[in-house]
Structure 1
């Protein structure tokens, strides 16, 4: 009776604790059925019953990760609550969780206003996933106001495909300047463009401690890269940058490389997959590899860098200052000609551990050249992907010989190549050879 009369969720939750201590679980059992069925948006619960739902979830062993989607109905009929309304009812649970997964839930500005309130409330929330919701610039402004609050301790924010433009980036930039806790930001597949990137770059240069920034397919060109390069020179916190699917081009890569060369830049991972890069931009990037000892992972997949670009990059790798450990050059129009320069880099660079050359016309001649590099005692390569590389039996013989003398290669992928049974047999036998460390072979 007290629970039914009490409109305050906080006091109701205290009364539920009392019921538990008295051994009365009747109401709790009924509520748990609603929770397990995921039909909260169509259950027509009273205020006290919603308090019971919150109590059940707050005392759940799975509280660390909250998924809104399992509590909302797929169809939103006349008798169903909207996702925003369900989110508002369950806000105390969001505040008590470390990770709130609200992706694909049709959250709008109304829900974002509630989330902003939760961010201000000194909550436990550290990760917020709003992937594929119709957030838009107005809602992002509301969220950004919550991020700026000194009580907000959010560390990761995912806004993948949320209808955000450059307009919304202005508010987010203000939050980046004032919030020292945000470490990871994903704005991929939003039309922020160069203007949005310029705004974000201004935020990065301030007191921002952001370490990982993902901007995949965001309509960014070389123009935006100038501002980003400036941020790299002044911000020593950014460690990972993903610009996949943007029209960076040679000019954009040259600008970014200038930023990479700066002593203040501590970037360790750079993804430039499908960024319209040619050999033209590789000269500047090679120079950055020589001067920046922090870059550990570089992804240039699906760019037309060709043999000329590979030669330039290989020269950069040979420098003792280069500490690159992972290099992805899949589908880059590389042939056997470029493998000669790469082989030279393998002989002089003991840091490279993983390399992906899949989708290039390496052929038997290219594999023979690479095998010479693998045999060198300075080469410490552990994983090599050569998927769909026009490799034949001829090249496999040289590779098998290299693996007998090189004790570092552990993973080898040769799928979708014209391999003969005998070649595969020789390579498979290496897993039992005491001089070889090969553990995994895909063919």
Structure 2
């Protein structure tokens, strides 16, 4: 979906949405996108016929006010009045309110009853005013664009009704490159940075998050300016934050002041604050010279209009909260050296949903990494709380045991936490408690953390990566689902509520390679379902190489509705097998027991290559080719190989494959000679009476072993 289409009518009802919610993980670019909407409108690029006035509000700044009137609210958003207020409010259907970060303040936006709605000039509590606007008791025809980090907005806005959900997924691969070229004005520097980052698949994947792209570029820029060799060995967000701190805080004496920054961040989280007054900073022993230093280092930023301070990004505040918990309060640790009460308090708060933010947990787990631990001790000149690892391990194991049914976004949040540790022993112990479930994966980053975790789940047997069903309309797209199980079947969780993806992020070749690598690392994986996924030629080659590996013990491969995107990305190969020559086909089928290729665009020519593999495979017993244009020519190729005694196939499905009576003689001949085939499905083919008679002759042959037709 494009920005200009956010408020387009829903195809099902032809009604325009009055509330659009942009949601996504931290640092993914929601606020930037919201500000771009306002700027694009001001330049006359979008919504000119739709909205006469657009007002942008930062909810963190609004939360600084106790009471405000609707008139003051609108005036606050206008640099200069464009029209008298009465005229602005006379056409509410032409008003768009942008509420950026509505989940940041800890408020409940409860609407006022219609009986007590006040005049637009009468002050009232900010939360009550916004609740009434969103509940449509004030200016019911007005439109809203909201950004949030959580989909659980019903607790924040009880009156929220039928919004359009739009998920922001971050940079595409080309978007990442464009960001690097924009950040480094010198093209040679941009090329150096890109070469380094692209050589590290994990870091390149992390760069789909704009905030992490900024962090990576900033670190590399500082190395270039100081004449250092470019290095970036970390693979986690926690590691990147510490790497950044190690570069911008050279003075050892100043590093002691980081304690004050940590306690400031923690107090803000517990009080629901992200904006701090000068008195707040002084309370944590941060005086003006120290504040100036942190402003220069871009750890803090100043807001001139409100004379307040905040962290350069909310994720930085979350990071320092994690540091505060891991290090503990200085006075508390002097009395209780092993105290990590802050960690327990924080985890308990998340379980009670007191806090809606997830990054702090990820950063806490990231501090368990040995590499990160060494850098942390170097910067903060002290060690982590000894009990930190055990406390987090107990919590993670409990979470894993509780997740026996599909639950979003809980699974991916836990996987992100485990990925940050980069601790194989830790992750193995936690993953041992998973019994199987479903999880939606839509970005490279999500696939990266899932792949890292699942390879340490040694009892996994089935892995499924496919579209989550057909979209009910263009406004309800199917999601990508990853499903894994251990001898149990768990129903897929259909969460296709009215949602759209902004900045579509397909899975890249690098992440397909990471996924296929678990077929080697997880030797007990028996089943892989890639149905419905567009794979590039490079990704197919990676899959082929993995299947040829002796360490791969895959028995079932399903590729229903799979398309192969050509290198030029301008067309689709209609035939998957054009990419795999015959010598590859033999190796690919070496260990497979079941192969599903329904609705893959397979043709008669592809069946020729596939048939070659059938005659050489000693393991393949089931083959699904339904809904492909196999035609009579393709069936002839298959029958020639099925007649050979070396073929072990027991079940063949050819539903709706364009077969006619012309292939029935070949089928009958195959039935009279094949000793292995037990089931043959020929439904929805126009065989005619003559074709059926020919098949019956084959069935009557004494050597026919078929039991189900």
Q: TM-score range by the shorter chain?
A: 0.5 to 0.7
Match 1:307 to one of 689, 695, 699: 689
Indicate how the Cα distance of structure 1 residues 48 and 139 shifts in structure 2: closer, same or farther if over 3 A, else same. Answer: closer
Indicate how the Cα distance of structure 1 residues 228 and 57 shifts in structure 2: closer, same or farther if over 3 A, else same. Answer: same
The offset of 1:196, in angstroms, is: 3.6
1:221 and 1:246 in contact (8 A); partners too:
yes
Match 1:194 to one of 575, 596, 601: 575
Which SS does the other structure have where 1:291 is aligned?
coil
The offset of 1:121, in angstroms, is: 4.4
* 1:245-260 alignment runs, 5 A limit: 245-260=627-642
Partner of 1:113: 448
* 1:95-244 alignment runs, 5 A limit: 97=434, 99=436, 101-102=438-439, 104-106=440-442, 108-118=443-453, 121=456, 123-132=458-467, 133=480, 134-135=506-507, 137-149=509-521, 152-178=523-549, 179-192=551-564, 193-196=574-577, 199=580, 202-206=583-587, 208-244=590-626
* 1:50-129 alignment runs, 5 A limit: 55-56=394-395, 58-59=397-398, 67=406, 69=408, 71=410, 87-90=415-418, 92=427, 93-94=430-431, 97=434, 99=436, 101-102=438-439, 104-106=440-442, 108-118=443-453, 121=456, 123-129=458-464
Take 2:327 and 2:344, find their aligned partners in 1: how far apart are those partners? 19
1:100-119 Cα deviation digits (max 9, x unpaired): 533x431x333333344346
1:167 and 1:196 in contact (8 A); partners too:
no
The offset of 1:222, in angstroms, is: 0.5
1:216 and 1:242 in contact (8 A); partners too:
yes
1:67-104 Cα deviation digits (max 9, x unpaired): 464527xxxxxxxxxx5x664325535575364533x4
Indicate how the Cα distance of structure 1 residues 198 and 271 shifts in structure 2: closer, same or farther if over 3 A, else same. Answer: farther
* 1:315-334 alignment runs, 5 A limit: 315-327=697-709
Indicate how the Cα distance of structure 1 residues 56 and 291 shifts in structure 2: closer, same or farther if over 3 A, else same. Answer: farther
Indicate how the Cα distance of structure 1 residues 303 and 281 shifts in structure 2: closer, same or farther if over 3 A, else same. Answer: same
Instruction: Give the RMSD, CA atoms, in angstroms.
Output: 3.8
Of structures 1 and 2, the one with the larger relative CO (CA 8 A, separation 6+) is 2
Indicate how the Cα distance of structure 1 residues 308 and 30 shifts in structure 2: closer, same or farther if over 3 A, else same. Answer: farther
The offset of 1:281, in angstroms, is: 1.5
Take 2:403 and 2:650, find their aligned partners in 1: how far apart are those partners? 30
Partner of 2:673: 291
Structure 1: stretches of 5+ with no match in the other structure: 8-17, 73-82, 328-443
Which SS does the other structure have where 2:677 is aligned?
coil
The offset of 1:152, in angstroms, is: 3.5
2:594 and 2:621 in contact (8 A); partners too:
yes
1:13-36 Cα deviation digits (max 9, x unpaired): xxxxx99xxxx99777655445xx
Take 1:273 and 1:308, find their aligned partners in 2: how far apart are those partners? 19
Match 2:647 to one of 265, 268, 272: 265
The offset of 1:169, in angstroms, is: 1.6
1:314-363 Cα deviation digits (max 9, x unpaired): 11111222222222xxxxxxxxxxxxxxxxxxxxxxxxxxxxxxxxxxxx
Give the structure with higher Rg (CA).
2
1:201-243 Cα deviation digits (max 9, x unpaired): 6445227311111111111100111111100010010111111
1:32 and 1:56 in contact (8 A); partners too:
no
Aligned pair count reads 296
Take 1:264 and 1:252, find their aligned partners in 2: how far apart are those partners? 20
2:523 and 2:552 in contact (8 A); partners too:
no
Indicate how the Cα distance of structure 1 residues 191 and 57 shifts in structure 2: closer, same or farther if over 3 A, else same. Answer: same
1:244 and 1:271 in contact (8 A); partners too:
yes
Indicate how the Cα distance of structure 1 residues 3 and 230 shifts in structure 2: closer, same or farther if over 3 A, else same. Answer: farther
The offset of 1:141, in angstroms, is: 2.5
1:134-160 Cα deviation digits (max 9, x unpaired): 4464432232233234x5331111111
